[in-house]
Amino acid sequence: MDAQKDKAARQAETNKKKEEEASKEPKIELSVSSDKMEASIRVHPAMEGQTVSVDKIMEFLKANGIVYGILEGIVRDFCDNKKYFLDLVCTRGLPPVDEKDGKLEYLFKKEQNYMPTEREDGTVDYRDLGIVQNVKKGDALCRIIPPEPGKDGIDVYGNAVKYRQGKLPSFPQGKNTAVSKDGLTLFADADGCIEYKHAALNVNEVFTVRGDVDSSSGNIDFLGTVVIQGDVLEGFSVKAGGDINVRGMVEGALLEAGGDIAISCGMNGMSRGRLAAKGSISAQYIENTTVECGGDIRSDVIFNSTVKAGNSILVHGRKGMLAGGRCQAGRSIIAKNIGSSGSRTDVLIVSGVLEGLLSGRTEKDVNSAQGTLKEEEKNLQTLNAQIETIFLFLKKNPRSLKAKNLLRNADSQKKLAESRIQYLKSEITAIGEPKEDGLSALDFKIAALHVAYAGTKMTIGSYTETLSTDYSATKFYADKEHIVSSPVQPDDRI
């Protein structure tokens, strides 16, 4: 009896222990990464064969503040297959999308290969290497492409994770450049050419060729001033919006300048070279060249060339020789020697002002014609306004005979006004613009300070004369009847 009681007591105690063990909760450990973007758990069952439910783990995570990115499918598989021996990554946050750094877009060629230009017909121009990159004031040189906007992330606790902002690049800002108000564009602050060296972008108003203009440089075409430290070889061209300064010589080339041209040693055009400038031209010598400028031409020798100057041709220096070819000036031609015994030389003074002086037309006549021209132009503006008004009326009243008659009359008056304006403009051109410096016919002259050789053909205004003998220290000018000569005076010298 006692034995049965002991056995029952021991059984009861065993059952009690089993119930106590069964009632024990499994131990769950939580591990969160330092950036709070990942959480993992490890389960330690309280007894062998103990299971853990999905709900139990969910409650545990919630109790520990883990609310975002729970991998419920993975947790369910973990519980169903009792993978308690594994560390379970049970939740992952949403990473932020960081901005990429902004980019700098160059709107010019950073690196030039100086390759020849291909023509439309497929041939190659080996003289056009594109060595100069011209820009005008206000042209865009560089542009910053801002980064695309980023996006915040979310950690496993449900907190926002800020994205990293991208960095903006800096401009390679140099001389004659400016940044736009929004800070995203670099502009040229002057007309010039691009120079990109050592991560600095400059706009140079002067382009310097440190040597010759030849096959290594190609042709030069620049908006500003060009300085050539060597020579310009045959067949090449230099074009500049400003001045051209050649420290050496020029051979059979083309030079065009919006300002002045200065050639230290001189030019032999080889019957194909040409100089053209809106300003003045100076060279030690000019041979076998076509020359045209709006100002003065200065040289020691002009030989066998076709030369045209808007103002004066001044041949000075040790030789001071003007021989062969054809030289035309708007005001005066002065040289030590004009012509030679072995060449034909044509020298001309062509000027609308001179024609006005010789014809007796004065500045008063010019002013009167200009006043009449202004009145006629004002009258034409009034007629145009009237015609426009009549047109508008006719659109609304197309059958109005009165309006049609008015239109015909206004058109007729307009044609007469336009004819008068054209006539007055031609008259003013023929008379010449009025001068403030009080020029006379004596200022339009051809002067040989030493000798004007026989055979030289002179044209001054509408008069022409070919010298039959040599003239010593003589100047020539026109009166109202013919070309006259007189001894050179001190103020005739260069």
Quick: pLDDT tens for 235-269.
999 999 889 999 999 999 999 999 999 999 999 99
| 222 and 190 Cβ atoms separated by less than 8 Å | no
Task: Take residue 17 and report the two structure tokens written for it.
Answer: 């222990």
Q: How far apart are alpha carbons 402 and 46 in whole angstroms?
A: 116
Looking at residue 423, what is its pLDDT?
Answer: 67
* Nearest Cα residue to 151 out of 69, 95, 68, 91: 95
Cβ neighbours of residue 476 closer than 8 Å, sequence gap 6 or more: 445, 446, 447, 452, 458, 460, 465, 483, 484, 485
> DSSP per residue over 211-254, as a string?
S-BSTTT--EEESSEEEESS-B-TT-EEEESS-EEESSEEES-E
**What is residue 158's DSSP assignment?**
S
Task: Take residue 464 and report the two structure tokens written for it.
Answer: 């022409």
Q: How far apart are alpha carbons 99 and 146 in whole angstroms?
A: 10
Q: Which amino acid is at 148?
A: E
Q: How far apart are alpha carbons 414 and 416 in whole angstroms?
A: 5
Q: Please identify every stretch of the chain with a pLDDT value under 50, giving residue numbers as ranges.
A: 114, 116, 122-126, 433-436
Quick: pLDDT tens for 22-55.
567 788 889 999 999 999 988 888 777 778 888 8
Pairing of strands 134-135, 192-197: antiparallel
**CA distances for 135 relative to 132, 192, 210, 325, 455, angstroms:** 10, 6, 21, 40, 51
Q: How far apart are alpha carbons 220 and 161 in whole angstroms?
A: 58
Residues β-bridged to residue 373: none
* Nearest Cα residue to 315 out of 296, 342, 340: 296
Looking at residue 436, what is its pLDDT?
Answer: 43
Q: How many CB atoms lie within 10 A of CB 439?
A: 17
Looking at residue 434, what is its pLDDT?
Answer: 45
H/E stretch holding 377: helix 363-396
Query: 312 by DSSP, 3-state: which?
Result: strand
Secondary structure string (H, E, C) spanning 412-432? HHHHHHHHHHHHHHHHHHHHC
CA dihedral for 179, 185, 188, 189, sign (positive or negative) = negative
Q: Which amino acid is at 28?
A: I
Residues 421, 423, 424, 428, Cα dihedral to 10°:
140
Query: First CA to last CA across the chain, in angstroms?
Result: 157
CA dihedral for 170, 175, 179, 184, sign (positive or negative) = negative
This prediction has a pTM of 0.62
